[in-house]
Amino acid sequence: MENHICTTCGTQFRATESEPERCPVCDEERQYIGWGGQEWTTLEDLQKSHRNSIRKKEDGLYAIGTIPEFGIGQRALLLQHPEGNILWDCISLIDEATIDFVKGLGGLSAIAISHPHYYSSMVAWSQAFGNTPIYLHEDDRQWVMRPHGNIHFWKGETLLLNQSMTLIRCGGHFDGGTVLHWLEGAKSHGALLTGDIIQVVQDRRFVSFMYSYPNLIPLPAKKVQRIVDAVEPYAYDRIYGAWWDKNILTGAKKAVHDSARRYIGAIKS
């Protein structure tokens, strides 16, 4: 029995004797099946061919990403806090070197994930750190390919993880699309960790919002406005996106406002 991993999206599946026939996460309009057809790997094989790189982004924040790039290529973020460290988003590879590093920082008290494309090997990560609870929004329950008792589905619009970190349901890319507000980030000016619910683009003065990024399917104006409204009550000067250098280091709230105005104007013109 193996927990197979889809090589296109990086999602780990429940244990089966043979490879699953298809990946439902990829086989729908927001994602895609790899051009070579459906392919699978395992965590054991991934550990042989890849490693994780860990970089400090600011005090109390570390990025963890896989080299060479695997799946969608996102990197996770580890936030330190006296009440317990939080892993934001997740990646497919977990290995002994990564486990040792994270334990050296105090381990994990929770894992929270923005949307199903980054569920990856979340259960394996949870088990590696003493069955750390995983927080996913209830609206995306159907996309969990490896169900487990460590997964906690939350409902509503916000969830307080600790006194500094709040999950905010924005919707958009997925119904349960979530961002994390970090009150103490950016030297206490506040930071948003957004995955690609709010996508930092190549011109890092702006962000964008899409139903499907690889297939270029836009969101309607009302859903974009809902995202902006969901994060409006929170102070933030910085955004950490889903990839290594997709960050807005200052002026992030203005960037979100300007980007939404530009986006809504373009699709309504």
- Confidence category of residue 269, pLDDT binned at 50, 70, 90: confident
pLDDT per position as a tens digit, 50-108: 999 999 999 999 999 999 999 999 999 999 999 999 999 999 999 999 999 999 999 99
- With a threshold of 0.95, does the pTM exceed it? yes
Nearest alpha carbon to residue 78 among 110, 48, 50, 121: 110
Instruction: For 167-183, write each residue's pLDDT tens digit.
Output: 999 999 999 999 999 99
Range of the domain at 109: 5-268
26-53 confidence digits (pLDDT tens): 999 999 999 999 999 999 999 999 999 9
CATH code where residue 39 lies? 3.60.15.10
- Tens digits of per-residue pLDDT, 189-239? 999 999 999 999 999 999 999 999 999 999 999 999 999 999 999 999 999
- Name the domain count of the chain: 1
